[in-house]
């Protein structure tokens, strides 16, 4: 049974069709990439999955449940988390506190209990602190727990953003261009990091990425879209030699 299924999804903005009859399935534990030229609709698809946009037509199913048009917080509570193209860490918080923000999704205490620091909330807060530190240990970032988040090197900030997403206890993690702006060494470390969390946290990962070295290096299956439509799907070696993919990226056919 697939963990994520998009069935003939369409998204229109006025007269512009950003996504056109897009269908895809992800299996539990899979690491799959979604690639395509700039403006091809990749992030729009992620926004539909996470509830930022409701599909104009079509359905999205997660864990055999129709999530089409649900609100982002509802979808997050069901077990989908994401990162963004631009790093969105909290500037005034340290590394540990940024991860603790992710744990707030699972808090049961109401805001009044938090303001008054009632015993129930304080117990949850201590548990949240412990779990956040343990999560940092599991991704080898615990030695940075007290550091200002935005003072970290770029590559570590990316890893921290992913760690914060993991704090929500997702079943499905969406990574939107995690290697953007990274140098080759940082990209190599990120590849190892993604494979590590895939195994450690028993996740399914859907990845948008422009660095083909990252995509081809770690993703067993790749989906390619252009102008909002799927044009290819398969293993890296098949995608690399697909004439439609070459044309979409280069603007010419393979024999041109």
The pLDDT assigned to 110 comes to 63
The pLDDT assigned to 128 comes to 77
Would you say 34 and 214 are in contact if contact means Cβ atoms under 8 Å apart? Answer: no
Domain-located, residue 105 = no
Domain-located, residue 255 = no
The pLDDT assigned to 174 comes to 98
Domain-located, residue 19 = yes
First-to-last alpha carbon distance for the chain, in angstroms, is: 42
The pLDDT assigned to 255 comes to 45
Domain that holds residue 71: 4-93+153-250
The pLDDT assigned to 66 comes to 97
How many structural domains comprise the chain? 1
Domain-located, residue 160 = yes
Domain-located, residue 164 = yes
CATH number (domain holding residue 195): 3.40.50.300
Domain-located, residue 127 = no
Ranges of the chain with pLDDT below 70 = 103-116, 118, 120-122, 251-256
Domain-located, residue 124 = no
The pLDDT assigned to 252 comes to 54
The pLDDT assigned to 1 comes to 85
The pLDDT assigned to 194 comes to 96
The pLDDT assigned to 113 comes to 67
Domain-located, residue 69 = yes
Would you say 149 and 91 are in contact if contact means Cβ atoms under 8 Å apart? Answer: yes
Q: What is the pLDDT of residues 38-51, one digit of tens each?
A: 999 999 999 999 99
Range 200-223 burial, b when 16+ CB lie within 10 A, else e: ebebbbbbbbebeebbbebbebbb
């Amino acid at each position: 049974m697939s963990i994520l299924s998009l069935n003939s999804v369409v998204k229109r903005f006025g007269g512009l069709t950003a996504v056109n009859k897009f269908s895809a399935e992800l299996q539990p534990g899979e690491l799959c990439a979604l690639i395509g030229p700039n403006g091809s609709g990749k992030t729009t698809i992620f926004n539909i999955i996470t509830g930022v946009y409701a599909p104009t037509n079509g359905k999205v199913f997660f864990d055999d449940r129709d999530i089409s048009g649900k609100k982002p917080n509802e979808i997050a509570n069901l077990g989908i988390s994401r990162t963004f193209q631009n790093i969105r860490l909290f500037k005034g918080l340290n590394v540990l506190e940024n991860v603790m923000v992710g744990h707030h999704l699972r808090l049961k205490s109401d805001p009044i209990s938090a303001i008054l620091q009632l015993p129930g909330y304080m117990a949850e807060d201590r548990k949240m602190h412990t779990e956040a530190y343990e999560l940092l240990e599991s991704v080898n970032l615990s030695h940075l727990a007290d550091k200002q988040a935005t003072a970290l090197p770029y590559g570590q900030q990316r890893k921290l953003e992913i760690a914060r997403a993991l704090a929500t206890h997702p079943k499905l993690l969406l990574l939107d261009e995690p290697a953007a702006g990274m140098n080759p060494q940082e990209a190599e470390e990120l590849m190892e990091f993604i494979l590590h969390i895939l195994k450690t946290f028993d996740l399914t990962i859907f990845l948008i990425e422009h660095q083909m070295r990252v995509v081809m290096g770690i993703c067993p299956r790749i989906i390619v879209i252009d102008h909002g439509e799927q044009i290819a799907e398969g293993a890296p070696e098949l995608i690399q030699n697909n004439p439609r993919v070459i044309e979409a990226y280069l603007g010419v056919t393979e024999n041109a």
